[in-house]
Homo-oligomer: A and B are copies of this chain.
Amino acid sequence: MDTLISHEALRAYMERVFEKEGFGREDARVIADVLMQADLFGIESHGAQRMMYYHQNIASGSVDTAAKIETVRETPVSALLDAHFAMGQLAGIRAMNMAIDKAKKTGVGMVCVRNSSHYGIAGYYPLMAAREGLCAFSMTNTGPIMVPTFGREMMLGTNPIAFCMPADPYPFWFDAATTVVTLGKVEVHAKREKAMPEGWTIDGEGEISTDAGKMNASILSGGKGGILPLGGAGETNGGHKGYGLAIMVEALTGVLAQGLVSPQMQGAHGDHTCHFFLAFDPAMFGDPDEIRAGMSRYLQMLRESEKLPGCTRIYTPGEKAFEAQARRIDEGIPVEEKTLMELRKIADALGVEAI
């Protein structure tokens, strides 16, 4: 059973929790904003549902609420930050703001971050840039959950690629793990004791597994097998492409920032993650309004193209998220019973007003 909670109430709850956890008012506000954006966009796995995870990371010290994010290197078009185990959201926002500033001044800004932590939805950050009329990428490595093509050890993270470009009525907003699915989807099937579709996970013997309970437990405990790269097992349907994209993300995050790569991290969600941000100004290439109009026209062509029999809509990336946001602002955000209990437990532990 889900409970509908107004976005204002959920946001206010998150802000008071993060303040009580030890963050300043503004930091608490922006961390909550990243989580709220996920819940508004209908990506529940990265919203309120993650509060307990962050609470535990702060309690265990794996996230340092007092961390000072350090600029290690800087040029007019780039920066390398060391987050010193700050909340990933604070590192991400700092880094993307630097990339945006540089893109406004020089045309391009590229910022890498090491020793960060889980930064929420990758897509939050390029959206910041799109609001300023810029195009942007964001990528992150994570704890290991993906097996290489032909492999049975988890050597790569979820390793999402997010990209955003201004368009109307919504920006083009793409945010996708380079795995077939995120661990969150395996977890949801495990909780509901439902079999997974074929092609999401492979076990240590090389058999495609649909047993969500078994695979979820195995992944969380670091067992053999794991989630397959986008494209699936082997090379027949392009699994090596998803695997290659995931390595590319490791290259641009862990390797370029000289931090940890996924298999060096502890746990499926990972700590000590590294991020990559790139913002650039489309005005370098032409009238930004015309480029924006061109993007909007192309997205419209896609949506209006012929549907398969039985299909009523063709979506473009971001559409579902912005529609969910409009609905959830009106109707409230559905919060699962278990998550609601967790939110109350956190409030109790911290002595702040519950929800």
A residues within 8 Å of B by Cβ? Answer: 73, 75-78, 80, 106-108, 110, 112, 135, 148-153, 155, 161, 163, 165, 172, 174, 176-177, 179-181, 197, 199-200, 202, 205-206, 224, 230-232, 236-238, 240-242, 244-245, 247-248, 250-251, 254-258, 261, 263, 280, 282, 284-286, 290-291, 294-295, 298-299, 301-302, 305-311, 313-317
Q: Is the CB of A308 within 8 A of B230?
A: no
Q: Tell which of B106, B153, B236, B257 touches A306, judged by Cβ atoms closer than 8 Å.
A: B153
A-B interface, 8 closest residue pairs, ranked by CB to CB distance from nearest: A206-B308, A150-B311, A176-B241, A78-B284, A244-B317, A153-B305, A174-B244, A153-B306
A-B contact pairs, 13 of them (CB 8 A): A80-B286, A108-B108, A149-B315, A177-B241, A180-B231, A197-B236, A197-B237, A206-B308, A245-B245, A255-B291, A255-B295, A257-B285, A263-B305
Of the candidates A108, A174, A224, the one having the most CB atoms from chain B within 10 angstroms of its own CB is: A108
Q: Say yes or no: A110-B108 contact (C-beta < 8 A), given A301-B155, A313-B150.
A: yes
Task: A73 to B281: give the CA distance in the assembly, Å.
Answer: 13
Q: Is the CB of B284 within 8 A of A258?
A: no
Q: Tell which of B107, B199, B313, B317 touches A78, judged by Cβ atoms closer than 8 Å.
A: B107
Q: How far is the CB of A298 from chain B (nearest CB, A)?
A: 5
Q: Say yes or no: A255-B314 contact (C-beta < 8 A), given A110-B284, A247-B302.
A: no
Q: How far is the CB of A195 from chain B (nearest CB, A)?
A: 13
* Residues of B contacting A110 in the complex (Cβ-Cβ under 8 angstroms): 107-108, 280, 284
* Residues of B contacting A106 in the complex (Cβ-Cβ under 8 angstroms): 76-77, 106
Task: A230 to B310: give the CA distance in the assembly, Å.
Answer: 22
Q: Is the CB of B309 within 8 A of A199?
A: no
The quantity of this chain's copies bound in the complex is 2
Q: How far is the CB of A273 from chain B (nearest CB, A)?
A: 15
Task: A78 to B306: give the CA distance in the assembly, Å.
Answer: 37
Q: Say yes or no: A308-B108 contact (C-beta < 8 A), given A77-B284, A244-B176.
A: no
Q: Is the CB of A310 within 8 A of B206?
A: yes
Q: Is the CB of B298 within 8 A of A254?
A: yes
* Residues of B contacting A240 in the complex (Cβ-Cβ under 8 angstroms): 176, 315, 317
* Residues of B contacting A317 in the complex (Cβ-Cβ under 8 angstroms): 240, 244, 247
* Residues of B contacting A309 in the complex (Cβ-Cβ under 8 angstroms): 205-206
Q: How far is the CB of A231 from chain B (nearest CB, A)?
A: 5
Task: A316 to B248: give the CA distance in the assembly, Å.
Answer: 11
Q: Say yes or no: A255-B294 contact (C-beta < 8 A), given A151-B307, A284-B73.
A: yes
Task: A179 to B241: give the CA distance in the assembly, Å.
Answer: 10
Of the candidates A181, A248, A254, the one having the most CB atoms from chain B within 10 angstroms of its own CB is: A248
* Residues of B contacting A315 in the complex (Cβ-Cβ under 8 angstroms): 149-150, 240
Kindly report which residue of chain B lies nearest to residue A181, judged by CB atoms: B238
* Residues of B contacting A247 in the complex (Cβ-Cβ under 8 angstroms): 172, 174, 298-299, 302, 316-317
Q: Is the CB of B148 within 8 A of A302?
A: yes
Q: Is the CB of A78 within 8 A of B285?
A: yes
Task: A202 to B310: give the CA distance in the assembly, Å.
Answer: 14
Q: Say yes or no: A232-B237 contact (C-beta < 8 A), given A150-B314, A285-B257.
A: yes
Task: A110 to B181: give the CA distance in the assembly, Å.
Answer: 32
Q: How far is the CB of A148 from chain B (nearest CB, A)?
A: 5
* Residues of B contacting A135 in the complex (Cβ-Cβ under 8 angstroms): 251, 256
Other A-B pairs, 8, CB within 8 Å; known A73-B284, A80-B284, A255-B294: A78-B285, A135-B256, A148-B302, A151-B305, A152-B307, A230-B242, A238-B242, A258-B294
